[in-house]
Amino acid sequence: MERLSVETEKKSYGRKIETSSVVSSPPEDRQSREGCREELNHSSASSLTSSPADSKEVLNSPHCCSNSKRNKKSPAGNRVKKSPGSRLSLTPAKEQTWAVDLVERSRAYRNRFVDSHCHIDLIYDRLGLPTNTVYTDFRETQAASYPANYEGCVAIFCSPETFDLHTPQDAVLRTVLTEPGVYLALGCHPKNATGFKSTSLDGLRKMLCSLPNVVALGEIGLDYSGEFHKLADVQREVLVSQLELAVELKLPLVIHCRDADEELLQILIKHVPRDHKIHRHCFTQDVATAQQWMDAFPNMFIGFTPVITYKSASDPAAAASQIPLDRLLLETDAPYFVPANVKDRKTKITHPGFALFTAEKIAELRGIPVDDVLAACRNNTSRMYGI
């Protein structure tokens, strides 16, 4: 059967995936648990100028896939050429008004932020960048749109091919192991469940126990959207095996849930201690659902993405305005979910700096200063991930 982790256009609340850029240095390194210079081919930027999708098209992504095959033959040691405004930039120089405004606003905020959920491997894949691209260099090429108060990110690797015990396809993962301000979460996304084998579980265990800066297991869960409900049995089996591993290793969980709220919550209640730390990623449900999950797990945090900026996303916007501030996390789910207020239709993907848009929208919805949201969510990220 064809591998399910192949990158599919994400369809969910708003317009088709579109994105942006980068600035400032991330922060402190986290203690460990138990790497060439060449200019990139400008042809990799062609995806940045393709025709935009209808803003009303629904998004539907697996939220992860393995490293792009087209990148595997890239010459070793590639670094992104430092050329803001070049064709490699996500925000062409003539169309950076929104980016200039974002960076300018960010300089006025006292508090910093961490994007608690992004996919660096997919960002590189979308842009056609070599898998050994140095993230710091990538940020420098995108400096025109990285907020000054960006501090770091939690990078999710959720294809079982990444952590296969014998032949891991982990090129991007290896490039970020020593990057300051980049923390890791590994696990098998439910849409990739058919590719999860016994060697995948063994390889996952090995990486979780040995790699530096690992902060969680995930994203894992259930996804019954579209035709994926036909894989419910295998999704459940893969989920439970990973839940048991997370409990054994005492690692926080990153949970993906779509069209399976009641079932997934009951599985968590059965297999995970009540006090376990859980991040319900990319929340798109209503307040009542969020409350049900938070009541079941007092250390449950609810993550919001730029989805809440879409007019069609009334339920998650309402939830973001009402859930206790000490239970919220900021996300981008980059490269997905270009904020509605990014008017440049040539911007096709997002990067971790876009989490500031999420914070600003939450502040608007709640009628409070942005700095209050930033401070609370930075504290919540520390409580959830220890960073």
Question: Helix axis angle, 232-249 relative to 261-271, nearest 10°?
Answer: 40
Instruction: Tell me how many domains the chain contains.
Output: 1
Q: What is the pTM of this model?
A: 0.80
pLDDT of residue 356: 98
Determine, yes or no, domain membership for 53.
no
Cα–Cα distance for residue pair 299/295, rounded to 1 Å? 9
pLDDT(385) > 90: yes
Determine, yes or no, domain membership for 75.
no
pLDDT(365) > 60: yes
Whole-number percent of the chain with pLDDT over 70: 75
CA distances from residue 238 to 34, 188, 198, 278 in whole angstroms, order as listed: 25, 8, 10, 18
Instruction: Give residue 240's pLDDT band: very low, low, confident or very high (50, 70, 90).
Output: very high
Q: Looking at beta carbons, which pairs linking 31-34 to residues 24 or more positions away fall under 8 Å?
A: 32/212, 32/213, 33/208, 33/209, 33/210, 33/211, 33/212, 33/214, 34/209, 34/210
Determine, yes or no, domain membership for 9.
no
pLDDT of residue 343: 79
Determine, yes or no, domain membership for 3.
no
pLDDT of residue 344: 80
pLDDT(68) > 50: no
- Over residues 346-355, the mean pLDDT reads 94
Determine, yes or no, domain membership for 273.
yes
Instruction: Give residue 166's pLDDT band: very low, low, confident or very high (50, 70, 90).
Output: very high
pLDDT of residue 37: 29
pLDDT of residue 261: 97
Task: Between 71 and 101, name the one with better pLDDT.
Answer: 101
pLDDT(322) > 50: yes
Q: For position 186, which CATH number holds?
A: 3.20.20.140
Q: Contact 57/16 with Cβ under 8 angstroms?
A: yes
Among the listed ranges 72-86, 222-236, 309-323, which one has the minimum average pLDDT value?
Answer: 72-86
Among the listed ranges 48-57, 101-110, 317-326, which one has the minimum average pLDDT value?
Answer: 48-57
- Over residues 163-174, the mean pLDDT reads 94
Determine, yes or no, domain membership for 333.
yes
CB atoms within 10 A of CB 299: 16
CA atoms lying within 13 Å on the CB side of residue 317: 16
pLDDT(304) > 50: yes
pLDDT of residue 95: 54
Determine, yes or no, domain membership for 10.
no
Output phi, psi for 117, to 5 deg.
Answer: -160, 110
- Over residues 93-119, the mean pLDDT reads 91
Task: Between 269 and 91, name the one with better pLDDT.
Answer: 269
Task: Between 46 and 360, name the one with better pLDDT.
Answer: 360
Output the average pLDDT for the chain. 82
pLDDT of residue 383: 98
Domain of 117 in residue numbering reads as 96-385
pLDDT of residue 10: 38
pLDDT(20) > 70: no
Determine, yes or no, domain membership for 148.
yes
